[in-house]
Amino acid sequence: MSNVNVLCLLASAMMAVQAFADEPKSTVAFTDTFDRTGQVGNEWKLNTKEKHEFVLKDGAVHITRNTDAKHSANMLHQAQFQNGTLAMRFKLLHEEDSFNVQVRNSQFTDVKQGMLFNVRIANGTLELQDAVVAYHNKKAMQAKNAAEPTPTQKAELDKATAAVPVKLSIDQWHKLLVSVQDDQLAASIDGKELVSLSSKSIGHPTKDNFRLEVKLTLVVDEISVTVK
């Protein structure tokens, strides 16, 4: 091998090493496999006052909403990141089951409870939404006692929402992966990216907690947040 070829190989190797070194490091901000008994614990905040059920069983948390309650069954946990992923294994038990993953900033006072964006899953639809735009549109409609949004409000909401049809098997495990990079949000189910959205609130520099909102029932086997 000539000296020129050797130098080229060395240069390529050095560039590859540098590219690897320049890749952003990933760290796990939070993880839970629910592989325990007793109370849910692990610093989860549950809205048990409305008598929802959160039961650890067979290495998973089984969530059941009290249908007489005003609000959904909620589980909230701290996890601070700007860019990263949220992954969870879940199981729907009934055709009508649905849930929402809401990412929030507790110090963001522009909207109720600091909500930034939603990832809603039902057996039929996967939806991403800028929660700030949706909240302000809702408040504007309430202020005018309007049943429908104005054309401008509808256009804003349409721009801040992305949805696709999805068919999920009942009583089978599925994996949701939510990816955040700057103002880009994407959601994959079982390894296939299905929908993405670009909107201002997604790019908020600080997301410090997330909440699972369960309409009826949901089983979660594991959940993690990774920071990039």
Specify the higher pLDDT residue, 180 or 150.
180
C-alpha closest to that of 137 among 152, 127, 125, 124 = 152
pLDDT tens digit sequence for 92-132: 999 999 999 999 999 888 787 888 999 999 989 999 999 99
Please report the pLDDT score of residue 17 as a whole number: 47
The residue type found at 32 is D
pLDDT at 43 over 80: yes
Q: Is 28 exposed, middle or buried (0-12, 13-18, 19+ CB in 10 A)?
A: exposed
Structure tokens at 196: 């993405």
> Could you tell me the pTM of the whole model?
0.85
Please report the pLDDT score of residue 26 as a whole number: 83
Structure tokens at 15: 């560039």
Cα–Cα distance, 202 to 115 (Å, whole number): 10
**Which strands sit side by side in the sheet containing 45-46, from one edge to the other?**
45-46, 73-81, 207-214, 98-104, 115-122, 125-130, 161-165
pLDDT at 7 over 80: no
The continuous run of DSSP H or E covering 218 comes out as strand 217-227
Domain presence at residue 202: yes
Domain presence at residue 99: yes
Domain presence at residue 209: yes
pLDDT at 45 over 50: yes
Structure tokens at 79: 């996890």
Q: Is 81 exposed, middle or buried (0-12, 13-18, 19+ CB in 10 A)?
A: buried
| Mean per-residue pLDDT, 50-68 | 96
Percentage of residues in the chain having pLDDT higher than 90:
71
pLDDT at 47 over 60: yes
Domain presence at residue 6: no
Please report the pLDDT score of residue 1 as a whole number: 56
Domain presence at residue 165: yes
The continuous run of DSSP H or E covering 121 comes out as strand 115-122
Domain presence at residue 4: no
Domain presence at residue 147: yes
| Mean per-residue pLDDT, 4-24 | 54
pLDDT at 8 over 70: no
CATH number reported for the structural domain that contains residue 195 in this entry? 2.60.120.200
Domain that holds residue 30: 26-227
Tally of domains within the chain: 1
Cα–Cα distance, 72 to 53 (Å, whole number): 11
pLDDT at 20 over 80: no
pLDDT at 91 over 90: yes
Domain presence at residue 2: no
